[in-house]
Amino acid sequence: MGKYILRRLLWMIPVILGVTILIFTIMFFIPGDPVKLLLGPDSTPEQVEAKRVELGLDDSYLTRLGRYVGGIVTRFDFGESWVYNTPVTSELLSRLPRTLAISLACMLLQIFIGIPLGVVAAVNHNKWGDRVTMFIALIGISMPEFWVALMLVLLFALNLGWLPPYGIGSWVNYILPVIALSLAGIATQARQTRSSMLEVIRSDYITTARSKGMSEMQILFKHALPNALLPVITVIGNGLGRLLAGAVVIEAIFSIPGVGMYLVGGINTRDYNVVMSSVIILAIVFALIMLLVDLMYAAIDPRIKSQFTAKKKRRNTHA
């Protein structure tokens, strides 16, 4: 298992390098001059050229790419923000915990609400429990996250005054953002769990378990649910990527100073170092999450466990 984890970590290197080159290339060829936007409309051509030389924007594509990638690899240095003149690395590290807190809270809601809803729908297939659950899931998938966020602010913050509309004063400030960001994920999780459970429930070994006199609760939690979890785990892992992307919009709406809001600010001001570094950090987090998903596969699926056990036995036999 240790070699498998090491191999997956090594595979992350070309993936992150590819993301870095891709986002750098996009920002290099994107139309517009960030220096003119930075200095304002009253700047002279001499000032613009001097600032471009100061920022290293007069160098070639390969020179700038090598300098940027080299700084990340050798010093984990993402450069400085052109607008605020502050190190991007320290700013990202201070903002990342807020983005992760929102995303992980949404993931927990998806697991502890979406999976039970899917199980209820599968057990009550074509009954009222199934229809009501799928109707709720359809509504959750259909509503855009930014619209849900705005409606929650209007209802619970402005009209009722129960919750703060923005900021990070306490944990209460995270309630509305987490609800707005998690609804679509809960709906997706419920639909996937229902589909997986229905496939497993119709299997022959479930029929055999019933014929042996096992109770429905034992069949459900001992046999059906564990075997239905693999595609559900895939949805959870892929859903985190959607949550990290959705956090960009949610943080902007609720004025939460996370990586998402930092990225939006960098896009608005053409602060290329901020934009590139935010994308790379989110890509690294997502790659680590997918590694954890693969390890969860190995923990749940006995077939994957047997592969590692068989390899270990073969090595011991040859030794």
For domain 93-318, which architecture applies? Orthogonal Bundle (1.10)
Q: Please list, in sequence order, all residues whose beta carbon lies within 8 angstroms of the beta carbon of residue 61, skipping any fewer than 6 positions away.
A: 25, 28
Q: Nearest Cα to 153, choosing from 144, 166, 140?
A: 166
Report d(CA 124, CA 196) in Å as an integer: 14
- From first to last of its 319 residues, the chain has per-residue pLDDT tens of 567 677 777 888 888 889 999 999 988 888 877 888 788 777 788 888 888 888 888 888 888 888 888 888 888 888 888 888 888 888 888 888 888 888 888 888 888 998 889 888 888 888 888 888 888 888 888 888 888 889 999 989 888 888 888 878 788 888 899 999 888 888 888 888 888 888 888 888 777 877 887 777 877 877 787 777 777 877 777 777 778 778 888 888 888 888 888 888 888 888 888 889 988 988 888 888 877 877 777 666 666 656 655 555 555 555 5
How do the domains of the chain map onto residue ranges? 2-75, 93-318
Please give the helix or strand (H or E) that residue 239 lies within, else none. Answer: helix 225-254
Encoded tokens for 238: 């892929």
